[in-house]
Amino acid sequence: MKDIAIVILNWNGKKHLEEFLPSVIKHSEDARIIVADNGSTDDSIHFLTNSFPSVEIIKLSENFGFCGGYNRALQQVDSKYYVILNSDVEVTQNWLSPLHQLLENNQNNAACQPKIKAYENKEYFEHAGAAGGFIDYLGYPFCRGRIFEEVEKDTGQYNETIPIFWATGACLFIRSEIFHELGGFEEDFFAHMEEIDLCWRIKNTGKEIYYVGASEVFHLGGGTLHKSNPHKTFLNYRNGLVLLIKNTHSSKLISTVFFRMVLDGISAVFFLLKGFPKDSWAVFMSHMNLYRYLKKWSSKRKNNTAKPQETHPEISQKSIVFQHFLSEKRIFKDIFESKK
């Protein structure tokens, strides 16, 4: 599979490279393996050069974040397919073949992801991607195998291959042509939600995204920003709103953003009541940032290569917040019994 380039973005991540890169080298057959260094100040480059001479290295001048780092690195990679792979992912034997075969067999398939399970608890799905990503009409993302913080044990319930709405950036197999045609990741996101934005734009072109249960990897997670980090809270809430502004159909835009902001406000109150004032403040500041740069975000909507579509079958018309917290339906099958 010499038409695949596996690209791992690194920033001061020698520890992760040392632990996880050997599995990528062992199980990735003839694929190119590239580490794009995002201006690291540790000895990652020296370590790679001496320990893994077969791995290609792209040196970026500074830390451009997840989005900017990948955009700049992938401009330098000539390959039919990219695998955007986190540095803290352990891959398994034959993980690439089912992903590669899916896209080779259908030109309308633009991207896919494997089953993502937890590295530290390998019987369970991992938060970032699990068994394929979906989203509700208010822009809240969720996965088969993970609804908010509720993570399911893998009992083979999600082993099939199905169309999904978004594929995780922890392990994203994508056609390079599509990535570049759509302008790559939204750099103003810096990090978080960027893969959902990219996948939404892909869906707006009429292309498909798939989850492939026959491929399995294990993700450590939390390697850059811990889930309780207020800056991560800010990015998730701000980027969630921008995601809607960029991609929601005009007929639903104002009402959708309004109700999403109301729910954001309620969650900010809950953060405060639970003793997380910095996270509560981060939600408030995410809204202030949206107002401050609303003109910029709106212009991005106008400049979208793929125009927002009115409906997508993978966007749930049920509120995942209501279903999970008020109706107490904790897992995917309880909410979407008719869906697979």
Average of pLDDT values for 49-59? 96
Q: Is residue 270 part of a domain?
A: yes
pLDDT at position 328 is: 85
Domain count, the chain: 2
The candidate with the shortest Cα–Cα distance to 218, out of 321, 71, 95, 304, is: 95
Please indicate, yes or no, whether residues 238 and 131 belong to a single structural domain of this protein: no
SS3 category, 308: coil
Please indicate, yes or no, whether residues 51 and 149 belong to a single structural domain of this protein: yes
CB atoms within 10 A of CB 116: 31
pLDDT at position 180 is: 97
Please indicate, yes or no, whether residues 245 and 98 belong to a single structural domain of this protein: no
Quick one: how far is CA 258 from the chain centroid?
Answer: 25
Please indicate, yes or no, whether residues 204 and 267 belong to a single structural domain of this protein: no
Using the predicted structure, report yes or no on whether residue 49 has a pLDDT greater than 90. yes
Please indicate, yes or no, whether residues 150 and 66 belong to a single structural domain of this protein: yes
Please indicate, yes or no, whether residues 235 and 103 belong to a single structural domain of this protein: no
Q: Is residue 332 part of a domain?
A: no
The tokens 């352990």 sit on which residue? 90
Average of pLDDT values for 42-48? 95
Average of pLDDT values for 182-201? 94
* Domain that residue 249 falls in: 230-309
Q: How confident is the model at residue 303 (pLDDT cuts 50, 70, 90)?
A: confident
Half-sphere exposure for 243 (CA within 13 Å, toward CB): 29
pLDDT at position 272 is: 96
pLDDT at position 191 is: 84
Using the predicted structure, report yes or no on whether residue 340 has a pLDDT greater than 70. no
Q: Could you give the CA distance from residue 130 to residue 115 in angstroms, rounded to a whole number?
A: 6
Using the predicted structure, report yes or no on whether residue 223 has a pLDDT greater than 70. no
Please indicate, yes or no, whether residues 187 and 62 belong to a single structural domain of this protein: yes
Supply φ then ψ for residue 68, to 5 degrees. Answer: -65, -35
Handedness of CA 111, 115, 119, 121 (dihedral sign): positive
Q: Is residue 328 part of a domain?
A: no
Q: Is residue 327 part of a domain?
A: no
Tokens linked to 245: 């502004």
pLDDT at position 228 is: 63
Please indicate, yes or no, whether residues 23 and 154 belong to a single structural domain of this protein: yes
Tokens linked to 321: 């917040």
Please indicate, yes or no, whether residues 237 and 213 belong to a single structural domain of this protein: no
What is this structure's pTM?
A: 0.92
Name the amino acid, one letter, at 53. P
Does 89 or 149 have the greater pLDDT score? 89
SS3 category, 164: strand
Contacts of 26 (CB under 8 A, 6+ apart): none
Using the predicted structure, report yes or no on whether residue 99 has a pLDDT greater than 60. yes
Question: What percentage of the chain exceeds 90 in pLDDT?
Answer: 85
- Count the residues in the chain: 340
Q: What is the pLDDT of residues 124-155, one digit of tens each?
A: 999 999 999 999 999 999 999 999 999 999 99
Q: How confident is the model at residue 338 (pLDDT cuts 50, 70, 90)?
A: very low
Please indicate, yes or no, whether residues 198 and 271 belong to a single structural domain of this protein: no
Average of pLDDT values for 282-309? 91
Handedness of CA 231, 244, 298, 263 (dihedral sign): negative
Q: Could you give the CA distance from residue 322 to residue 116 in angstroms, rounded to a whole number?
A: 26
> What's the chain's average pLDDT?
93
Please indicate, yes or no, whether residues 74 and 121 belong to a single structural domain of this protein: yes
pLDDT at position 84 is: 98
Q: How confident is the model at residue 300 (pLDDT cuts 50, 70, 90)?
A: confident
Q: How confident is the model at residue 306 (pLDDT cuts 50, 70, 90)?
A: confident
Whether 54 and 25 have beta carbons less than 8 Å apart is answered as: yes
User: End of a domain among 219, 241, 264?
Assistant: 219
Name the amino acid, one letter, at 325. F
pLDDT at position 106 is: 95
Q: N- to C-terminal Cα distance for the chain?
A: 30
Please indicate, yes or no, whether residues 194 and 252 belong to a single structural domain of this protein: no
Helix (H) or strand (E) holding 9: strand 4-10
Q: How confident is the model at residue 25 (pLDDT cuts 50, 70, 90)?
A: very high
Q: Is residue 89 part of a domain?
A: yes
Q: Is residue 319 part of a domain?
A: no
User: End of a domain among 161, 184, 219?
Assistant: 219
Q: Is residue 105 part of a domain?
A: yes
pLDDT at position 336 is: 86
DSSP string across 232-272: HHHHHHHHHHHHHHHHS-TTTHHHHHHHHHHHHHHHHHHHH
DSSP annotation of 281 reads H
Domain at 169, CATH number: 3.90.550.10
Q: Is residue 207 part of a domain?
A: yes
Q: Give alpha helix (H) positions in the chain.
A: 14-27, 44-51, 65-74, 96-105, 176-181, 194-204, 230-247, 253-273, 277-292, 294-302, 320-321, 332-335
User: End of a domain among 219, 244, 275?
Assistant: 219
Q: What is the pLDDT of residues 254-281, one digit of tens each?
A: 999 999 999 999 999 999 999 999 999 9
Average of pLDDT values for 295-320? 87
pLDDT at position 308 is: 86
Name the amino acid, one letter, at 67. C
Average of pLDDT values for 224-239? 81
